[in-house]
Amino acid sequence: MAVERTIRHIKALATGAKYMLGGHRLTLMYPDDIQEFPDGYRGMIEYDWDTCIKCGLCAMVCPADAMKMYVSKEESEEGKRPVRRPGINYTRCIFCGFCVDICPTNSLKFTKVHDVAFYTFEEQIYPPERFREGIPKPQYDKEPRKVRAVLDEKRGIRYEPVE
Ligand code: SF4
Ligand code: SF4
C-alpha cells in the first residue's frame, strides 16, 4: 500500500515537473490574444425590448435571482398597474441559460461577450431601460489577435490564430 502510494506521488511530481520544464504555455496572453468562442457560448445577454411580452417567466425561472422584473418607468402611468420588464444583475448571474431557454418570444439571447470590466457594483446591474441599450463593447488598446483553442494529445490545449 505504501509502495503504491509512493509511486502515485512520484508520478504526480513527474507530471508537475514535465509541465514546469516543458515550457508549454496553456494560458492566453489576454488581451493581446482573445479566444474565439463556439456558437452557443454563454456570454452577456441581449434583450429585445420590442418582442418581449413582459410575461415574467425569465425572472421566475432564474435560480440565482439575477433576472428580475422592474417597473418600467417610461411605460407605467400613475394610478394604473405598473408595467414591468426584466432586468439583469451580472453580480448574481451564473450564465445557466434558463432565462434564455424559457423565453417564449426569444427576446433574450446570449452573446459571446464576457470580457467587460466594471468599476462599481452598480454598473453591473442592468434595469430594463439599460438592458435594452445592448451589451457594452470591450475596449482594447490595440486590436487583439483572435485565437482558437485546439486540443493537442500531447500538450493538452494549444491556441491557433484564426484566419
Ligand atoms: S442566465 Fe441563469 S442566472 Fe443568469 S439571469 Fe438567466 S436564469 Fe438567471
Ligand atoms: S424576456 Fe421573455 S421571458 Fe422575460 S418577460 Fe420578456 S418575453 Fe417573458
Residue 142 lies in a domain: no
Is residue 86 lining ligand 2, measured as CB closer than 6 Å? yes
* Residue-wise pLDDT tens digits, 20-55: 776 666 778 888 999 898 899 999 999 999 999 999
Report yes or no on 15 lying in a domain.
no
Distance 71 CA to ligand 2 centre (A): 14
Q: Whose CA is nearest to atom 4 of ligand 1?
A: 93
Q: Which three three-digit cell numbers place residue 48? A: 429585445
Domain contains 63 = yes
In a domain, 71, yes or no: yes
Domain contains 85: yes
Burial (CB count <10 Å: 0-12, 13-18, 19+), residue 42: middle
Confidence of residue 1 (pLDDT cuts 50, 70, 90): confident
Q: What is the domain range of residue 94?
A: 49-106+118-123
CA–centroid distance, residue 113 to ligand 2 (Å) = 21
Please report, for the domain that includes residue 81, its CATH number: 3.30.70.3270
Q: Give the count of domains, the chain.
A: 1
Region 132-151 average pLDDT: 90
Instruction: Please check whether residue 78 lies inside any domain of the structure.
Output: yes
- Given 3-state DSSP classes, what are the helix, strand and coil percentages for the chain, each rounded to the nearest 5? 25, 20, 55
Residue 91, C-beta contacts closer than 8 angstroms, at least 6 positions apart: 66, 121, 124, 125
Mean per-residue pLDDT, 139-154: 86
Mean pLDDT in residue range 121-149: 92
Given the CA of residue 88, which atom of ligand 1 is nearest to it? 5
